[in-house]
Amino acid sequence: MMLIPCPWCGPRDESEFHYGGQAGVAYPADPDALSDEEWARYLFFRDNPKGPFRERWSHSAGCRRWFSLVRDTVTNEVLR
Amino acid sequence: MSQAFRTEAGGLVDRGRALAFLFDGREYEGHPGDTLASALLANGVHRVSSGIRTGRPRGIFAAGVEEPNALVQIEEPFPEPMLTATTVELYDGLVARGLRGRGRLAADPDPGRYDGMYAHCDVLVIGAGPAGLAAAAVAASSGARVVVVDDQIRAGGSLLGTGEHLDWVDRVAAELAAAPEVRLLTRTTAVGYYDDNYVVAVQRRPGLPEHRARERVWRIRARRVVLATGAHERSVAFAGNDRPGVMLAGSARTYVNRYGVLPGRRAVVLTGNDSAHDAARDLAAAGVEIAAIADLRDGWAITGVAGTERVEAVTLRTPDGIERRLEADLLLVSGGWNPVGALYSQAGGRLVHDPGLAAFRPDGNCRQALEVAGAAAGSYTLGVCLAEGAAAGRRAAEAAGLEAGAIVLPEVSDPEGRPPLAVWTLPGGDPATAFVDLQRDVTVADLTRATGTGMRSAEHVKRYTTAGTAHDQGKTSGALTSGVIAELLGVEVGALGVTTFRPPFTPVSFAALAGRNRGMRFDPVRVTALHAWHEANGARFENVGQWKRPWYYPREGEDMAAAVLRECWAAREGVAMMDASTLGKIDVRGPDAAVFLDRLYTNMISTLAPGAIRYGVMCRPDGMVFDDGTVIRLAEDRFLVTTTTGNAAAVLDWMEEWLQTEWPELRVHCTSVTEQWATVALVGPDSRRVLATLAPALDVSRAGFPFMTWRDAEVAGRTARVCRISFSGELAYEINVSWWDAVALWEALLAAGAPFGITPYGTETMHVLRAEKGYPIIGQDTDGTVTPHDLGLGWAVSRKKADFIGRRSFSRTDTARPDRKQLVGLLPDAGSLLPEGSHLLTGPDETAALGHVTSSYHSAALGRTFALALVRGGRDLIGQTLWATLDDGVTPVTVTGSVLYDPEGTRRDG
């Protein structure tokens, strides 16, 4: 049971959170400018590293705030 | 004779009281403080069970959680399977029997109560042996919040088995129990070690009245953890090492010292280390004759074990190679000691092989805030265990910013010992009777077969032979298995390693994990304001998410089909009403609310005038339909949107996610108001007249209150918002009132509608009515691979808006394919009701499916059965015949458009 630092509520049990996948995948500013392949990469392709990974979480059973953190996917350690 | 093997005196059992119990149908007696195993041994019972594969007789092998053999089924007071006799605390009236592997679950609900507890602490000490007690006492002296868990009925750990320094144990335990910031939990087994020092422990609470929890699951978050989990002894693989009467030497010592029980009369000892010599000394002092001590370090060995139900004789081989047969009823074995590393491994730590220790021990480099002390760290002398525990407790207190004081430790002088010798197998005899895993009946022969097929990893051999996979999880056999494999492969055991430990450390009952969350508490049940009326009027309910919704209202003698036909008929030809309160309702407000909804819905929302309503579809960015509903514009900066019942929370989450992560510049707030508004759908040609009766001030005329508009009005004397929305194609209204006013509104509608035969209807009728009109239900007629165009909702997809979620995907080659699955209607030629999920084939003998049935009903209005289906290129197949699969063959169906009733929409305005 990871202890996840909510920026508003402080460290809380993992079970209060909802996972949001890789962080920093912005909605394209002009989707029409993208080829089908580029659009498909936005929709379907995400990194899956062994090690530090910047990802999104939502404190869904608490304050409902979305935020990003960096987690080591091997140790589950929250790095920042 | 009763308890013939009980010593005259000594031990930690209460000899003043006798406890009667039944085992395998025979009556025995024991004492408080006994386990079932010690009480059986006191009565001379060694054979408890049989090998799961071999059927060979099996006895009591150990004295604690590591027991692989003595599986029992508790029969009374409540059936519980797969316990070990060494962990069942004896109580009066216990009824048990030996188990060959598998047990029997109770057929009745467990009457016992179970509960969950949460604790936070500075220091969690796992294990109350010498190291753990020292750690806890030092940490507690700092004022730190300390939790100590131990699986035995009293603190002491290995000292209970050796009988040493029990006065010190009792004093420290009493001090800990009295300290205000300390919680000492006995009968509590730490079973799981998870991320960030989250430890789960199960506490047994026998002997309490039934209303008190039998077990508690403790969920403990600790700043630091001290693992003082001790060590388990292991066996040696030799032919006949599974016979009842073969016992771990340290366990035999525990039976003598702690329970005052003699495990036999005449013993042979086989060992590769010093500890079994201490055991032999204690057994001899208690009256057991020691026939021989065969020390592997001096070249002694065992070549044979005689006896089937019980050891009768042991054949020794002397260092000179001479074989000698000795009569004995007990064979004590010590192949060495393994630090209990399961929790350390669960915590993410690695176990490394220590040649000096001849065992695997924690590498001392775990990323979690823990340390290991005492035998768990590989320190097997008492003085070192005490010192390590005290040091660990001091560091743990310091980590919490506290300073520990001094405590009194017992005076001990650790003896100079000889180093242990790791011996995994002994030659001679049949390797198919040389067991490594007694509970899975895995032998040296099995391991030889596995390595013979080319397996080189302990993990592979484990899965092939099942060694270590029984419910003891290889506590006594894991290291031995690795040792034997290494020997077979000719590699160092350290290079091979041990298999990974995973939670739980000991078996946990589902009842304990469920705690109070059983039955009604398993999941919240949500009911509407009208629930009591529905119940009182005979509604059958269906579950929609967490909601209980009226499904249909059967009258006397009606089955479901008859009730639904009657309800449908009323809605189409008279007037009917439904509780629609479970629809999700979200209040969206702010200066940018219209911009926000334009981006979220496929159609244009910003052009909607206050007072008007629009149907809207939401997609995911991949263009697949996610939800649908209506959007009501309350004011320039305020909307009320409805969602499907099951998706209400998901839609609110979806809105929040986009607002927070992509469009933080939008000034919009979203609030769930599902349970603030109760909603009644009033449906049918006569609905206008019923509404007019109750809302005399409201202009209900066609021109005065057109389709897809809303009005604030007084209905039945209550403040209401009335929407002209139809989910059936009929003239219809949705009347929204405060949740508190729902019953008054409902009853007023019933009274006002009585002259028109107003009929309450449930979700089944709602589904039939909407399906007749080809309105899809998101989640029933869609499955996350369906676009609005596939559903025939292309009209609801804006071509004017610059962008909205999903738009770009509609021009992907995949979503533009003409042969996508499309929603169509089906008319079964033979009039049968198609099962939902039926596959649709192009011919009676074809096997490739073009699609499947998503909804299927009897229609009162059409006078026949019909269905909706997703069919590849379906709109081009209208008028053609397909074949639907049934349980026993196929049936022809004609493809139609999805709107089967009133396709011109003539009934909408009454």
B367 and A1 within 8 Å at the Cβ level: the answer is no
The stretches in chain B having pLDDT less than 50 are 1
3-state helix, strand, coil in chain B (%, to 5): 25, 30, 45
Q: How far is A69 from chain B (nearest CA, A)?
A: 14
Asked if residue B883 lies in contact with residue B893, where contact means CB atoms within 8 angstroms, the answer is yes
Give the up-direction half-sphere exposure of residue B256: CA atoms within 13 A in the CB hemisphere. 24
Q: Based on the domain organization, do B690 and B662 belong to the same domain?
A: no
The model's pLDDT over A31-67, given as tens digits with 9 standing for 90+, comes to 999 999 999 999 999 999 999 999 999 999 999 999 9
A chain contacts of residue B660, beta-carbon cutoff 8 Å: 65-66
Tell me the one-letter amino acid at B461: V
B198 and A76 within 8 Å at the Cβ level: the answer is no
- Domain-embedded: residue B528: no
Q: How far is A38 from chain B (nearest CA, A)?
A: 11
Q: How far is A80 from chain B (nearest CA, A)?
A: 15
B622 and A27 within 8 Å at the Cβ level: the answer is no
Total residues belonging to chain A: 80
Nearest-by-Cβ selection for A31 from B195, B221, B808: B808
Q: Based on the domain organization, do B215 and B126 belong to the same domain?
A: yes
Q: Based on the domain organization, do B316 and B433 belong to the same domain?
A: yes
Q: For residues B441 and A52, give the distance between their C-alpha atoms in angstroms, rounded to a whole number.
A: 43
Q: Based on the domain organization, do B727 and B640 belong to the same domain?
A: no
Q: How far is B196 from chain A (nearest CA, A)?
A: 6
Q: For residues B735 and B567, give the distance between their C-alpha atoms in angstroms, rounded to a whole number.
A: 19
3 state SS of B444 = helix
B656 and A14 within 8 Å at the Cβ level: the answer is no
The CATH number given to whatever domain includes residue B264 is: 3.50.50.60
The CATH number given to whatever domain includes residue B648 is: 3.30.70.1400
Nearest residue of A to residue B649, measured between CA atoms: A60
Which is nearest to B252 in space by CA: B293, B229, B302, B286? Answer: B286
B621 and A42 within 8 Å at the Cβ level: the answer is yes
| Residue A66 host element (H or E) | strand A66-72
- Domain-embedded: residue B784: no
Q: For residues B203 and B215, give the distance between their C-alpha atoms in angstroms, rounded to a whole number.
A: 5
A chain contacts of residue B656, beta-carbon cutoff 8 Å: 58, 64, 66
Q: How far is B116 from chain A (nearest CA, A)?
A: 16
Nearest residue of B to residue A30, measured between CA atoms: B803
Mutation choice for A interface testing from B346, B365, B619, B657 by most A CBs within 10 A: B657
Q: Based on the domain organization, do B441 and B321 belong to the same domain?
A: yes
The CATH number given to whatever domain includes residue A78 is: 3.30.2270.10
Domain that holds residue A64: 13-24+49-80
Number of domains in chain A: 1
Average pLDDT over residues A24-32: 96
- Domain-embedded: residue A2: no
- Domain-embedded: residue B885: yes
Q: Which long-range contacts (CB under 8 A, 24 or more apart) does A13-16 make?
A: A13/B198, A13/B221, A14/B195, A15/A61, A16/A59, A16/A60, A16/A61, A16/A62
Give the up-direction half-sphere exposure of residue B552: CA atoms within 13 A in the CB hemisphere. 19
Nearest-by-Cβ selection for B662 from A27, A34, A42: A27
B chain contacts of residue A75, beta-carbon cutoff 8 Å: 348, 367
The model's pLDDT over B428-475, given as tens digits with 9 standing for 90+, comes to 899 999 999 999 999 999 999 999 999 999 999 999 999 999 988 889
User: Residue B499 has what pLDDT?
Assistant: 81
Q: Based on the domain organization, do B443 and B481 belong to the same domain?
A: yes
Calculate the alpha carbon distances from B852 to B779, B830, B871 in Å: 14, 18, 7
- Domain-embedded: residue A40: no
- Domain-embedded: residue B546: yes
Q: Based on the domain organization, do B393 and B516 belong to the same domain?
A: yes
Q: Based on the domain organization, do B835 and B900 belong to the same domain?
A: yes
Tell me the one-letter amino acid at B28: Y
Nearest-by-Cβ selection for A66 from B348, B660, B811: B660
Nearest-by-Cβ selection for A1 from B194, B653, B661: B194
Calculate the alpha carbon distances from B121 to A56, B250, B391, B445 in Å: 29, 34, 18, 49
Asked if residue B662 lies in contact with residue B576, where contact means CB atoms within 8 angstroms, the answer is no
Residues 6+ apart with CB under 8 A from B627: B617, B618, B643, B644, B647, B650, B651, B778
Calculate the alpha carbon distances from A2 to A75, B57, B118, B529 in Å: 10, 45, 15, 39
- Domain-embedded: residue B302: yes
Q: Based on the domain organization, do B478 and B513 belong to the same domain?
A: no
- Domain-embedded: residue A41: no
User: Residue B111 has what pLDDT?
Assistant: 86
B807 and A39 within 8 Å at the Cβ level: the answer is no
Tokens describing residue B677: 């508004």
Q: For residues A15 and A1, give the distance between their C-alpha atoms in angstroms, rounded to a whole number.
A: 8
| Mean per-residue pLDDT over chain A, rounded | 96
Asked if residue B247 lies in contact with residue B64, where contact means CB atoms within 8 angstroms, the answer is no
Phi, psi of B409 (to 5 degrees): -105, 150
Torsion of CA B5, B10, B14, B18, to 10 degrees: 20
- Domain-embedded: residue A66: yes
| Residue B278 host element (H or E) | helix B275-286
Q: For residues B563 and B557, give the distance between their C-alpha atoms in angstroms, rounded to a whole number.
A: 10
Complete DSSP assignment for B131-176: HHHHHHHHHHHTT--EEEE-SSSSS-THHHHH--SHHHHHHHHHHH
Q: For residues B551 and B565, give the distance between their C-alpha atoms in angstroms, rounded to a whole number.
A: 13
Q: What angle do CA B823, B824, B826 make, to 5 degrees?
A: 140
Which is nearest to B715 in space by CA: B685, B757, B680, B684? Answer: B680
Which A residues 41-70 touch B at CB under 8 Å? 42-44, 56, 58, 60, 64-66
Q: How far is A68 from chain B (nearest CA, A)?
A: 10
Q: For residues B549 and B527, give the distance between their C-alpha atoms in angstroms, rounded to a whole number.
A: 8
Q: Based on the domain organization, do B443 and B306 belong to the same domain?
A: yes
User: Residue B662 has what pLDDT?
Assistant: 97
- Domain-embedded: residue A71: yes
The CATH number given to whatever domain includes residue B558 is: 3.30.1360.120
Q: The tokens 């967490």 sit on which residue?
A: B546
User: Residue B16 has what pLDDT?
Assistant: 94
Q: Based on the domain organization, do B269 and B215 belong to the same domain?
A: no
pTM of the prediction?
Answer: 0.92
**DSSP code for B757:** T
Q: What angle do CA B363, B366, B372 make, to 5 degrees?
A: 65
Tokens describing residue B415: 């003896």
A64 and B656 within 8 Å at the Cβ level: the answer is yes
Asked if residue B686 lies in contact with residue B756, where contact means CB atoms within 8 angstroms, the answer is yes
Q: For residues B778 and B776, give the distance between their C-alpha atoms in angstroms, rounded to a whole number.
A: 6
Asked if residue B460 lies in contact with residue B477, where contact means CB atoms within 8 angstroms, the answer is no
**DSSP code for B574:** S
Number of domains in chain B: 6
Total residues belonging to chain B: 910
- Domain-embedded: residue B777: no
Nearest residue of B to residue A44, measured between CA atoms: B622
Q: For residues B579 and B417, give the distance between their C-alpha atoms in angstroms, rounded to a whole number.
A: 82
The model's pLDDT over B38-79, given as tens digits with 9 standing for 90+, comes to 999 999 999 999 999 999 999 999 999 999 999 999 998 788
Nearest-by-Cβ selection for B813 from A36, A56, A64: A36
Q: Based on the domain organization, do B588 and B577 belong to the same domain?
A: no
Calculate the alpha carbon distances from B868 to B109, B780, B789 in Å: 42, 10, 16
Q: ipTM of this predicted complex? A: 0.98
Residues 6+ apart with CB under 8 A from B244: B46, B47, B48, B57, B58, B59, B60, B309, B310, B311
Calculate the alpha carbon distances from B797 to B503, B608, B651, B791 in Å: 51, 15, 19, 12
Asked if residue B187 lies in contact with residue B332, where contact means CB atoms within 8 angstroms, the answer is no
Residues of B with CB under 8 A from a CB of A: 194-196, 198, 219, 221, 348, 367, 621-622, 653, 656-657, 660-662, 803, 807-809, 811-813
Q: What angle do CA B733, B738, B744 make, to 5 degrees?
A: 75
Q: For residues B905 and B893, give the distance between their C-alpha atoms in angstroms, rounded to a whole number.
A: 25
Final residue of a structural domain among B613, B641, B672: B672
Strands (E), B393-531: 435-437, 442-443
Residues 6+ apart with CB under 8 A from B325: B304, B306, B313, B314, B315, B316
Q: How far is A32 from chain B (nearest CA, A)?
A: 7
- Domain-embedded: residue B711: yes
Mutation choice for B interface testing from A18, A34, A36, A63 by most B CBs within 10 A: A36
Q: How far is A13 from chain B (nearest CA, A)?
A: 9
Asked if residue B253 lies in contact with residue B429, where contact means CB atoms within 8 angstroms, the answer is no
Please name every residue paired with B840 in a beta bridge, in sequence order, or none if there are none: B851, B884
Q: For residues B677 and B720, give the distance between their C-alpha atoms in angstroms, rounded to a whole number.
A: 9
Q: How far is A74 from chain B (nearest CA, A)?
A: 10
Calculate the alpha carbon distances from B676 to A69, B50, B655 in Å: 36, 63, 20
Q: For residues B471 and B475, give the distance between their C-alpha atoms in angstroms, rounded to a whole number.
A: 10
CB burial class (10 A; 0-12, 13-18, 19+) of residue B532?
Answer: exposed
Domain that holds residue B834: 812-910
- Domain-embedded: residue B37: yes
| Residue B429 host element (H or E) | none
Asked if residue B90 lies in contact with residue B41, where contact means CB atoms within 8 angstroms, the answer is no
Calculate the alpha carbon distances from B603 to B211, B598, B636, B733 in Å: 58, 7, 18, 23
User: Residue B1 has what pLDDT?
Assistant: 46
